[in-house]
Amino acid sequence: MFSVAKMTLAPLTSKANRLVWRALLFIVGSTLVSLFAPSVGSAHGGLDFPATRSYVCRFLDIDSEMCAQAWAENPQALYDWMEINIGNAGGVHQPRIPDGELCSAGRSKYGALNTPGDWPVTTLEPNAQGAYDMSFIPHAPHATEYFRFYLTREGFDPETESLAWEDLELVHDSGPISYDRMASEGNDFGFEMDLPERPGRHILYLVWQRSDSLEAFYGCSDIQFSSFADQNPSFIETPQVSAPSDSSESDSMDMPSMPMPMPMPMPEDGVSDLHVSLTSSSDWGAGYCADGTVTNHSHSEVVWETQLQISGEMVSSWDSEISQIQNLTGSTSTYTVRGAAWNQTLPPHGSANFGFCVNRSTDSSEIAMVVPSPEPPSDGASNPPPEAPSSPDSSPSDPNSTPAETSPTETSPPTETANTTPPPATNPTESPVQETGSPNPQGSVSSNDSKPILAAYYPEWGIYGRDYFIADIPGDELTHVIYAFVDLSASGQITLFDPWAATDRVFTGDQSVSGATAATSGNFGQITELKALYPHLRFSIAVGGWTLSTHFSSVLSTPEGRETASDAVIDFLRQYEMFDGVDFDWEYPGGGGLASNGSSPNDGTHYALFLAEVRTKIDALGEERGRVYEISVASPGGYDKIANFNLPGLTPSVDFYNVMTYDFHGTWENTTGHQAAFQADANGYDIRTSIDLYLEAGVPASKIVLGSPIYTRAWAGVADGGNGGYGQPSSNAAPGSFFDQPGMYDYKDLANQWLEGAGDWELYWDDQAGAAYLYSANLGIFSSFESPGTVAFKSEWAQHMGLRGIMFWDLSSDTRNPSERLTRAAARSWFGGLEFDEIVAESNFSFDRIVGGNQTFDPFVESPTEPSDITHSPVSPPETGPCVSLDSSSEESSQVATNRGKARRLNRIKQHRRGRKPPVDCPASLP
C-alpha cells in the first residue's frame, strides 16, 4: 500500500496557480517499486494553462471520471502527456487527422482523449487589459513556425459531441518564434491573446508546428469563460487545494485502476524536475541492494541531490556520495545522496545512475525517497560526460570518439502515425526464412552453423512511445530476435529492467500477436505466441547494453563473481523458457563506454573465462532439456575497442558475433561523416577494416554477423560544400526523431519524408566510401542513411565473404512499408535468391546525386582511376585477405552460382576486392 497525504487541487483560474511537483517515491517491504514509469516517450511541450486533457489527467485530476477511463485505457499515454505529435506533418494537419480524432492527433495510443464527456474544465479570466494569458511548458524548445489556437463554435457541446475540424475557428496565430526565446523563457513561456467569449463549455485546440523539422504537436484544453461560468450548472468545479497534512496517518488517495504504479505528485514552493526510479538488484533476506536512476527533466543544468529514509543500515554505495544526516528512531536513518564527481551535474534531460546496499533492521523495511529542488551548478562545475537516457535504450552502439553518444532508444517517442500493423500471416510455411534445425517440443531448433542468421534487436521500451509491439515483428523475415535488455547487477544477478513491460502488461487485441486481448502477460508472453506462429524464430535475451554495462568489470573480475553470474544466466533461461539463448552486450571491456562503468586491463581475460563457464553450463542445460541454446556477443566495430575485446579468447565459447559495424561517426564529432561506411575511411572506421580485424584474429567467417543500423546520425548547421554537406563542419546535432536523442533519426522518419517529397531532402551515394546520406539545404541537415539498396549491397558482399548473416538495431525504427523495410531487403537477399540490382529495382528509392567512385550506384564495379570528387585516405590493406575463394571454377562458387543464381556477380565482387592480398584457408562451403 502507498500512504500519502491526501491532496486536492487549486482551481485553474490563473497562470500563477500552476503547480509544479516533486517526485516522492515509496519503496515498501522487500520490493523496491518505482512510482514513475520509464521515461521512454518523446516529450516536447504542452499547455499547462489552460491545461490539456493529458496534463489534467497526468497531474491535476486523476480521480475524475474521464481521467480514470484514460488511465485504465493506456497509462503510458498520460506519462507521455507532451508527446501527442505527428513526425512528418509539415504544416499539413487536417488531411492527416480524421474528424473525431483531433485530441489524439489520429494516434490510437491517445484515443481516450477523443471521448466526449465530463472532462475537468479550466475557467479563463481576462487580465487587466481584457486579454487572456496562456502558459506553455516547452520541455524541449524548438524553432517554431507557429502556434495556432482554435476555439470551438458557439453551441458546440464537448460532453456529447466528438471534435471535428468544422467545429473549430482560428482565434490566434503566433507566427514564427525563435528557439532562443523559447529556451530562455523556459517555464515562463506563454501567450497573451484576445478570445471571443462564448457561453458553455468549449475546447481550445492547439497546433504547434516546428520550423526546424516537419514535426507538429497537438492538444485539447477544456475551458469555460468566467463571465459565463454561472450559466453552466453542469460544470463540475475543479476541487480546491488544501495543503498536505503533516500527519503520516492521513488518508490514502483513491487511485483509478491501472496495471502499473502511478506517480504521487507532491506540491512544493520551488520547481523540481528531477525524477528518480529505483529497482532491486539483489535481496538476501537480511538486506538488499538497489540501483537508482535520477533524470533531469528541466531546461538547465542541475547539481542533483536526494534523501533516503532507510529502515536499516547503509553498508555500501557506488556512483554517488552518501552520508547519514539523521538517526530518527534508532533503526531508521535519513541519508543524503549526492552525485559523484563525474555525474553530479546533469545537463538538461540528462540522467545519472547510482546504487547502494542496506542491511535491514528487524522492525521495519520501509524506504522513502524525497527529491529536493535542484541547485544550479556553480561556475566551476565541469560538464559531465553525456549520460544515456533513463531507459536502457542503448543499442549495441560503437561510438569511436569520446564522449560517445547515447544509443537509439526510446528512449524514447514516435514520429510515425500509422496504427499497429495486423498480426502476421498464420501460415509459417509461406515464410522465405529457412528453419535452422528440427523443432523440438519446446519450439526451439537445433544449432546449425551453415544456415544464415538474420537477426534484429527488439527494444523492451518499444511498447511505449514507439507503439511497436512483439506482434509487429516481421517473423517471416528473420531467424533471430534479440530482446534488449536485462541488467547484470552489482551482485551478479540477472534482473529485469522493466518488469511491467516484460511480464505484467496485458495487451489488447490490436497490440497482441493473436489479435485478441492477450491470454499471456507481458512481452515475454507475446514472444511465446509469436514463436508458435513462426516455429523457426529464435529469441535471445540481451544482457547489458550501453546503459546497463556498469557492473560487468567488477562482477567478472573474480571466480566467485563469474560463477554467480553464469548461474544467474542459467536460472533466467530456466525461468523464462521462451528464450533460446543469451546475447552479451558489454560496452566495453577495457573501457570506452559510459564513464561510470568499471573497467580493467584484465577485462578481456575475465570475459573469456566467464563465457567459457556459461558455455559449459548452457550446453548442460540444453542436454537436460533436449534443446540447443546459443551464445552470441554484441561486439565492437571500431578497431580501438576490438583491441581490448580478446577475440581469440572469446571465440571458442561464442556461436556468433553481432558486429556493431555502425556508429563509426556521429555528432560527438563536429564534422559530418558516414556512420556505417563500407570502406576507405581515413581513420579506419569502416566495415571492411572491421571485418578484416575479426578474420585476422582467427574468428571464423561463419561466426561473424554483420551489423546494420536502422537509424541515422545527423548534424545541423551544415553547408552544402559541393557534396551535399559531406565532410563539412557542423554547429550542433540535428533535432532527431526524439527530443532526448538529438542527432539521431529513425530510418522510417527520414525514409517517409524523402518518399513523400516533404522538404528538399536529396539522397546521395558516395561510391568511393560505399555509403548513402541525405542532405537538406533548407534545414542545413546532413544525415547518414540506409536504404533497401545499401542493405542488399552489404548482404551480397557478406554472403560472398562467407559471413554468417546480418543484424539490425533496432526493429522499432524500421518502416511498416514492406517494399522499403530494411529487414525485408535482407531476407530477399539471403533467402529469396534476389540479386543486388533486383532488390534495388523493387524499392522506390533512387539516388538524386552520386559522387565519387565510378559515379554509379553499382558497388561491385571497379571505380575509375581518376580522383574522386570526395577525397578519402584508405587504410592500408591487411597482410592477407579473408578466407573465401572467388574463383568461378571452384566448388564453393559453383555451389553459390547454382543455388543462389549469382554467378554473374562473382567476377564483380572479385574486382571489388581491389588492393587486397590473396585469400587464404578458404572455407569448405558457403551458405
Instruction: Give the number of other CB atoms < 10 A from CB of residue 727.
Output: 18
Supply the range of the domain harboring residue 128: 37-231
CA dihedral sign of residues 411, 416, 420, 426: negative
- Within-domain flag for 809: yes
Instruction: Give the number of other CB atoms < 10 A from CB of residue 598.
Output: 19
Q: How many residues does the chain have?
A: 927
Instruction: Give the number of other CB atoms < 10 A from CB of residue 269.
Output: 7
Separation of alpha carbons 852 and 778, rounded Å: 24
pLDDT band at 692 (very low <50, low <70, confident <90, very high): very high
Whether the CB-CB separation of 199 and 70 falls below 8 Å is answered with no
Whether the CB-CB separation of 238 and 50 falls below 8 Å is answered with no
As a whole number, mean pLDDT of residues 734-752 equals 92
Query: CA nearest 863: which of 854, 871, 855?
Result: 854
Whether the CB-CB separation of 888 and 906 falls below 8 Å is answered with yes
As a whole number, mean pLDDT of residues 488-496 equals 97
Active site residue 786: no
As a whole number, mean pLDDT of residues 802-826 equals 97
Whether the CB-CB separation of 437 and 628 falls below 8 Å is answered with yes
Separation of alpha carbons 246 and 584, rounded Å: 49
- Within-domain flag for 923: no
Q: Which residues fall within 8 angstroms of residue 876, CB to CB, at 6 or more apart?
A: none
From the candidates 587, 786, 835, 892, which is the catalytic residue?
587
How much is the pLDDT for 825?
Answer: 97
Query: CA nearest 304: which of 340, 356, 259?
Result: 340
Q: Regarding beta strands 132-137 and 190-193, do their DSSP bridges make them parallel or antiparallel, or are they unpaired? A: antiparallel
Poorest-pLDDT segment among 44-58, 141-155, 419-433, 491-505: 419-433
CA dihedral sign of residues 238, 239, 240, 241: negative
How much is the pLDDT for 276?
Answer: 74
pLDDT band at 149 (very low <50, low <70, confident <90, very high): very high
- Within-domain flag for 861: yes
CA dihedral sign of residues 778, 784, 787, 790: positive
Whether the CB-CB separation of 349 and 740 falls below 8 Å is answered with yes
pLDDT, one tens digit per residue, over 165-207 is 999 999 999 999 988 888 788 767 899 999 999 999 999 999 9
CA dihedral sign of residues 753, 756, 762, 768: positive
DSSP 820: G
Q: Helix, strand, or coil here: 293?
A: strand
pLDDT, one tens digit per residue, over 243-264 is 233 333 333 223 222 222 222 2
- Cα separation values, 626 from 440, 531, 622, 658, 904, Å: 8, 18, 6, 26, 43
Q: What is the CATH number of the domain that holds 138?
A: 2.70.50.50
pLDDT, one tens digit per residue, over 808-819 is 999 999 999 999
pLDDT band at 94 (very low <50, low <70, confident <90, very high): confident
Domain count, the chain: 2
As a whole number, mean pLDDT of residues 90-103 equals 90
Separation of alpha carbons 292 and 269, rounded Å: 25
Separation of alpha carbons 395 and 660, rounded Å: 9
As a whole number, mean pLDDT of residues 372-377 equals 36
Q: Is 624 left (phi over 0), alpha (psi -120 to 50) or beta?
A: alpha
* Structural Rg of the chain based on CA atoms: 28
Select from 873, 898, 913 the last residue of a domain. Answer: 873
Beta strands in 4-84 (DSSP E): 21-22, 24-27, 46-49
Separation of alpha carbons 589 and 607, rounded Å: 8
Separation of alpha carbons 633 and 612, rounded Å: 13
Separation of alpha carbons 419 and 415, rounded Å: 12
Single-letter residue type at 591: G
- Residue 622, pLDDT > 70, answer yes
* Mean pLDDT (the chain, rounded): 76
Separation of alpha carbons 898 and 904, rounded Å: 11
Query: CA nearest 763: which of 678, 675, 841, 849?
Result: 849
Separation of alpha carbons 39 and 80, rounded Å: 8
Q: Helix, strand, or coil here: 376?
A: coil
Q: In terms of pLDDT, which residue wins out, 897 or 848? A: 848
- Residue 72, pLDDT > 60, answer yes
pLDDT, one tens digit per residue, over 637-676 is 999 999 999 999 999 999 999 999 999 999 999 999 999 9
Query: CA nearest 162: which of 114, 119, 201?
Result: 114
Whether the CB-CB separation of 360 and 312 falls below 8 Å is answered with yes
Q: Is the peptide bond before 487 cis (omega within 30 degrees of 0)?
A: no
- HSE-CB of 460 using CA atoms within 13 angstroms: 30
Q: What is the CATH number of the domain that holds 514?
A: 3.20.20.80
Q: In terms of pLDDT, which residue wins out, 290 or 720? A: 720
- Residue 567, pLDDT > 70, answer yes
What's the pTM?
Answer: 0.54
- Residue 3, pLDDT > 50, answer no
How much is the pLDDT for 392?
Answer: 47
Look-up of cell digits 526565446: 181
Select from 176, 198, 231 the last residue of a domain. Answer: 231
Separation of alpha carbons 385 and 233, rounded Å: 57
- Within-domain flag for 390: no
Q: Is 280 left (phi over 0), alpha (psi -120 to 50) or beta?
A: beta
Q: Which residues fall within 8 angstroms of residue 427, CB to CB, at 6 or more apart?
A: none
Select from 873, 895, 910 the last residue of a domain. Answer: 873
Separation of alpha carbons 685 and 662, rounded Å: 9
- Within-domain flag for 595: yes
Whether the CB-CB separation of 881 and 918 falls below 8 Å is answered with yes
Whether the CB-CB separation of 93 and 214 falls below 8 Å is answered with no
Q: Is 100 left (phi over 0), alpha (psi -120 to 50) or beta?
A: left
pLDDT band at 274 (very low <50, low <70, confident <90, very high): low
- Looking at the chain, the whole-number percentage of residues with pLDDT higher than 70 is 70
**Beta-bridge partners for 581:** 540, 630
- Within-domain flag for 770: yes
CA angle 841, 846, 848 (to 5 degrees): 160
- Looking at the chain, the whole-number percentage of residues with pLDDT higher than 90 is 52
Q: Regarding beta strands 480-488 and 494-496, do their DSSP bridges make them parallel or antiparallel, or are they unpaired? A: antiparallel
Whether the CB-CB separation of 556 and 567 falls below 8 Å is answered with no
How much is the pLDDT for 260?
Answer: 26
Q: How far apart are the first and last CA of the chain?
A: 58
3-state SS string for 170-228: EEEECCCECHHHHHHHHHHCEEEECCCCCCCCEEEEEEEEECCCCCEEEEEEEEEEHHH
Instruction: Give the number of other CB atoms < 10 A from CB of residue 865.
Output: 5
- Residue 554, pLDDT > 80, answer yes
- Within-domain flag for 559: yes
- Within-domain flag for 539: yes
How much is the pLDDT for 927?
Answer: 26
Q: Hey, what's the cell of 698? A: 582467427
Poorest-pLDDT segment among 70-74, 408-412, 496-500: 408-412
